[in-house]
């Protein structure tokens, strides 16, 4: 018990940092898996194409990237379900 009290000032910050890192990973994962965000990005890219802000090649490249992300998210969801 005495050792724990003496080491507390050293251990407590490490435990706090570990808990913070875990929360950051959870938040990052939640943002990565947000299908709504990806759908909004797809709509934004379509608008950019319609306004002539990007070329068709840029549009198709970005669209494929976003569709791959959606496919990964859906595969992860299926894996988690069963």
* Best CA proximity match to 29, nearest among 76, 64, 65, 68: 76
The pLDDT value recorded for residue 50 is 97
CA distances from 73 to 25, 40, 50, 56, 77 (A): 16, 15, 27, 26, 6
The pLDDT value recorded for residue 77 is 87
- In this predicted structure, the answer to whether residue 4 has a pLDDT above a threshold of 80 is no
The pLDDT value recorded for residue 34 is 83
Give me the residue spans of the domains in the chain: 35-82
The pLDDT value recorded for residue 31 is 72
Q: What is the pLDDT of residues 17-63, one digit of tens each?
A: 877 778 887 787 777 778 899 999 999 999 999 999 999 999 999 99
The pLDDT value recorded for residue 30 is 73
The pLDDT value recorded for residue 62 is 96
The model carries a pTM of: 0.62
């Amino acid at each position: 018990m005495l050792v724990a009290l003496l080491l507390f000032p050293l251990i407590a910050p490490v435990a706090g940092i570990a808990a913070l890192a875990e929360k950051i990973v959870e938040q990052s994962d939640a943002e990565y898996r947000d299908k709504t965000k990806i759908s909004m990005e797809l709509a934004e890219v379509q608008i950019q194409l319609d306004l002539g802000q990007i070329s068709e090649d840029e549009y198709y490249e970005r669209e494929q990237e976003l569709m791959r992300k959606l496919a990964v998210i859906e595969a992860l969801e299926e894996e988690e379900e069963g």
